[in-house]
A and B are shown apart, each in its own frame.
Chain A
Amino acid sequence: MEVEKKETQSKETIRRSERQAFIDNLKFSLYLLRKNPLVMAGILMVVFFVVTALLSHVLVDPATAGVYDFSKNYGWSKDAWFQWGVQARIIDEFHVFGTDGWGRDILHMMILALPLDLSIAVAIVSGAVAFGVCLGAVAGFVGGKLDEAILRITDIFFAFPGLVLAMVFAAVFGRNMVSLVMAVLAVWWPVYVRLIRGQVLAEKERAYIQALKAAGLGRVRILFRHILPNTIYPILVQATLDLGGVILTFSALMFLGFSPNPAMPELGNLASDGIGHFFEAPWLIVFPGLAILTIALAFNLLGDGLRDVLDPRLRR
């Protein structure tokens, strides 16, 4: 009885101390972040964008914001073409960022564009990281001919300018969202292959890998359970930085006219609406462009500070 009671008591204390340790850990992470004001600014901006994206359909009702039904195909009628320039101005009511040629509020459209842009960025980057990291880690760990083969393929992708290659893919695979995402993904993964391969090459020579081998661990387990957690921090930082870059590239594709639907609320697409009206209606291109810039900046600032927080070797 006594013993049992003691046991439950000690278990309780352990649980409490574990919770305490977790809270302390969190506090320490916050402290590390607070030390660098730029990183803090980046975090605030990212949080702002993500929250806005999550709340977008509450803030703006897509039905009344003049968003067209995407399932329909829109043609450019002669009348619409004629009306374009006429309506592209601030009309009867006040709109903070103005309206576009269809009379849609630019601010509303930008808010509606955020969830699309962010989720596309996350999808592309996570896909590229998963693919690139697997390939690069195996290349670095196995070495030899496989390494050579993977690197040469990577080099081929590196040889072309990313945007141009993405445009080729987009043009070949057709004009829809999936093929656009695949096009950007296809040019994005080689960076991670190179990055993780170098990391794995350095890490696999470390002494503890030998201890793991001596403990009878298989190669797969050593690579994915021990080497990857040690090498993933630079990748996470790179991926965070790339979230901004991917939005830039994707918007650029849209801007260049690969948009599957001219009415789609996507930042690059919105900006491309204003391409011919820069002088009479600069707000069409300036505000969506600024939004793209700010998002890219936010993720860059965040990425800079992330490493200090994540890596247990650096956080002491």
Chain B
Amino acid sequence: MTEREVLLKIEDLKLNFHTYRGEVKALNGADLTVYRGEVLSLVGESGCGKSTAAHAILGLLPDNAYILGGRIIFKGEDLLKKSGAEIREIRAKQIAMIFQDPMTYLNPVLTAGTQLREVFDLNEDFLKQETILSLENPGRKPDYDIYLTTRTSGETAQDARVSKGDLKATANRLSRDFLTLTQLPDPERIMTQYPHELSGGMRQRVMIAMALARRPYLLIADEITSALDVTVQAQILQFLKALRDKTDAAILFITHDLSVAAELSDRIAVMYGGSVVEVAPTAELFQRPLHPYTQLLQKSIPDVRKVEKRLDSIPGFVPDMISPPSGCRFHPRCPYAREKCHLEKPPMIEVEKGRFVACYNYEVQAS
């Protein structure tokens, strides 16, 4: 395996939510690396900090969140140190996020087309460049290679003078092309419709089109299939799978569903209690899970080929994040817990190449 370019690196991110009941220690030293062009799934149960981590990347945390330490390095720069304008620029052009519930994440009083076109208002370089290209050669076919992979800075296009009408026409054409890309039938009609006139799956596709139109380096998909029914979910997954090969954007796929993650991702990161406990390539994680939590998690996935009376479940409860267990947060539920696990949080160690685990059971092997 060749050394790949690191796109995003979260280092030891610690984050608290200040609430009336006390400090919610949502992230407890989370580490995560996303390489360029890969699909990384972040799995974990509800409240383990998956979404919080994603929101922290984009600086979308609520007012009561306090970052206590750590760094989020995107393309060599610390996102936590960026100013408001800089982070807005990054949100507009480099990192896109698709949210969980397509019902509420679109503006109800603007048509889908208006909302899509707005993306290009913020990405003027791309729009200008496309306008020039289409003026030079009218009747241009949508070129998805350019849409999804090439990211010219657009500096050449910056000074070009293009009429407003041309820009508008291009924005329209691009919106239509991106809707076509997400396999929506009759994109022209959908562009004139309001969100409430679209179905859940259609809305989610519009959201995906809006995210892709930004031509991001990193696409964060936050539980995007959870609010959809199973058939639509399958369609969206199918589409994302096809997209994975077309685009060179990295996808951070956040889900609580291991099987969905298995379907899509190159690597899987498992989170528990506010930190990442295991990172492994997808196949290896399923063949040989290292962390006890992952092992137990896998046992609790039903297998249609076996007749089982009762599904295995992980003993104990989800940790209380206001007063979490000391040391390794999984130790109260862990069958292999030792005394050391009560005292200190295990560091992330690389057991084999590309396989990371945070558990004292593997200390000996590593050294």
A interface residues, Cβ below 8 angstroms from B? 3-4, 7, 14, 17-18, 21, 206-208, 210-218, 225-226, 229-230, 311-313, 316
Contact = CB atoms under 8 A, between A and B. Distances in A.
Interface stretch (B86-94, B159-167, B245-253, B265-273): B86-94
A208 B194 contact: no
Interface string B45-71: 000000000000010100000000000
A313 B196 contact: yes
A215 B122 contact: yes
B60 A215 contact: no
Interface stretch (B32-40, B96-104, B313-321, B341-349): B96-104
A313 B110 contact: no
Chain A interface, DSSP helix/strand/loop, else mixed? helix
Contacts of A214: 58, 60, 91, 96-97, 99
A210 B59 CA distance: 11
A3 B138 CA distance: 12
B91 A312 contact: no
Interface string B96-135: 1101010011111110000000110010000000000000
13 contacts: A14-B188, A17-B189, A207-B99, A208-B107, A208-B108, A211-B207, A213-B91, A214-B58, A215-B91, A215-B92, A215-B119, A226-B110, A313-B196
Contacts of B207: 211
B226 to A, nearest CB: 14
Given A17-B189, A210-B105, 7 more contacts: A208-B104, A211-B97, A215-B118, A215-B214, A216-B91, A217-B118, A229-B107
Nearest to A233: B109
B93 to A, nearest CB: 7
B150 interface: no
Nearest to A216: B92
A210 B60 contact: yes
A312 B99 contact: no
Nearest to A207: B104
A45 B188 CA distance: 40
Size band of the interface chain B makes with A: 20 to 34
A21 B113 CA distance: 15
B252 to A, nearest CB: 13
Contacts of B101: 207
B109 A313 contact: yes
Nearest to B111: A312
Nearest to B90: A216
A280 B139 CA distance: 81
A312 B192 contact: no
* A-B pairs, 3 with minimum CB distance: A216-B92, A216-B91, A207-B104
B210 interface: yes
B109 A312 contact: yes
Contacts of A225: 118
B108 A230 contact: yes
Contact of B106 (A3, A21, A211, A218): A211
B200 to A, nearest CB: 14
Contact of A230 (B93, B97, B109, B139): B109
A7 B141 CA distance: 12
A61 to B, nearest CB: 47
A4 B139 CA distance: 8
Contacts of A313: 108-109, 196
Nearest to B214: A215
B122 A206 contact: no
Contacts of B122: 215-217
A312 B58 CA distance: 31
A218 B108 contact: no
B90 A208 contact: no
A271 to B, nearest CB: 42
A312 B197 CA distance: 10
A18 B108 CA distance: 20
A211 B194 contact: no
A207 B195 CA distance: 14
B27 to A, nearest CB: 19
A213 B188 CA distance: 26
B142 to A, nearest CB: 13
Interface string B199-216: 000000001001000100
Nearest to B197: A316
Given A230-B108, A312-B109, A215 B210 contact: yes
B110 A229 contact: yes
Contacts of B109: 229-230, 311-313
Nearest to A228: B109
Contacts of B210: 215
A4 B60 CA distance: 47
Contacts of A211: 97, 99, 105-106, 207
Contacts of A229: 107, 109-110
Determine which residue in A4, A17, A210 has the highest number of CB atoms from chain B within 10 A of its CB, and name it: A210
A213 B107 CA distance: 12
A282 to B, nearest CB: 50
Contact of A213 (B60, B90, B104, B189): B60
Nearest to B85: A218
A63 to B, nearest CB: 48
A273 B322 CA distance: 75
B89 to A, nearest CB: 7
A212 B107 contact: yes
A306 to B, nearest CB: 15
Contacts of A207: 99, 101, 104-105
Contacts of B106: 208, 211
A277 B299 CA distance: 96
Contacts of B91: 213-216
A18 B192 contact: yes
Nearest to B108: A313
A28 to B, nearest CB: 13
A21 to B, nearest CB: 6
